[in-house]
Amino acid sequence: MENPRYVELQDQVVVITGGGGILCSAIATAFADQGAKLAILDLKKESAEVVAEQIRQKGGEAIAVQADVLSQESLQMAYEKVTEHFGPCNILVNGAGGNHPSGTTSNPYLLEEDLTSTVEDLKTFFDLDIEAIQFVFNLNFIGTLLPTQIFSKAMVGGKGCNVLNISSMNAFTPLTKIPAYSGAKAAVSNFTQWLAVHFSKVGIRVNALAPGFFLTDQNRALLTKEDGELTPRGATIIDQTPMGRFGDPEDLVGTALWLCSNQSKFVTGVVVPIDGGFSAFSGV
């Protein structure tokens, strides 16, 4: 344990979906540093195992579990593995999510000439693939709801139990070009508030992080060039971020730990932007 600040998190069983990713692995490591027991769930078990092994090498407790957040059967199997190894889940972090290129428009604005354009691969709103839209919505929203159904039932009546969802700053104001992802994250924020009220009598708090722009494997090619320079979209983002940089994965850690600790025991139903001021800036 490198930073045992939240002593009440020690020995808590933390399940984190999408735990093999850049952002969620940082959150998982932070919980492990507090002495929590981590179950790293990911569709790719090898990615989860990398994170779990890093935690174990530092003296923490962690297991890697393959899980598909869109499959009740897969999640039930994961639940049984986690419970057998660690016992019931105390904290669930719903970190799985993502976008799909076929649910994304080529340009931020529709122009009349786009409808007759012969530009190859130009994708307007009218060309968006409905299956891609459904995939993005399901991955982000249903992929938050299903794990919560499976893992939070054992939390009912417990102490210090939390569900932490991962929304996005574009749930507040949608970004151009990504209607499916923006809508899905807005649904996650709404679900966070709904579930916080629904669980308020049984000892489970529900909150969410709303990250701004963090470089991940999913968006790196969209925001930066091979030489590390910003793409036009990346430059626009930095210009609209008052703090003038992308977020670091560790920037999520403090808020995540605080929301799941006793220091926020009267906080539920909040969605916290962690975006360097992006959502607060009018552009002027």
User: Residue 7: CB partners within 8 Å, gap ≥ 6?
Assistant: 34, 35
Residue 59 pLDDT greater than 50, yes or no: yes
Residue 155 pLDDT greater than 80, yes or no: yes
pLDDT tens profile 139-149: 999 999 999 99
Residue range 7-280 forms a domain whose CATH class is: alpha beta
Q: Which of 124-128, 224-228, 258-262, 274-278 bottoms out in mean pLDDT, i.e. has the lowest?
A: 224-228
Q: Domain locations in the chain? A: 7-280
Residue 80 pLDDT greater than 60, yes or no: yes
The catalytically annotated residue of 6, 79, 109, 181 is 181
Residue 216 pLDDT greater than 80, yes or no: no
Residue 215 pLDDT greater than 90, yes or no: no
Question: What average pLDDT does range 96-116 have in this prediction?
Answer: 94
Its pTM stands at 0.94
237 or 91, which is more confident = 91
Q: Is residue 6 annotated as part of the catalytic site, yes or no?
A: no
User: Residue 123: CB partners within 8 Å, gap ≥ 6?
Assistant: 102, 104, 105, 106
Sheet (strand 13-17) strand order: 61-66, 37-42, 13-17, 91-94, 161-166, 204-211, 271-274
pLDDT tens profile 258-281: 999 999 999 999 999 999 999 999
Question: What average pLDDT does range 74-90 have in this prediction?
Answer: 98
Question: What average pLDDT does range 159-164 have in this prediction?
Answer: 96
Question: What average pLDDT does range 222-227 have in this prediction?
Answer: 78
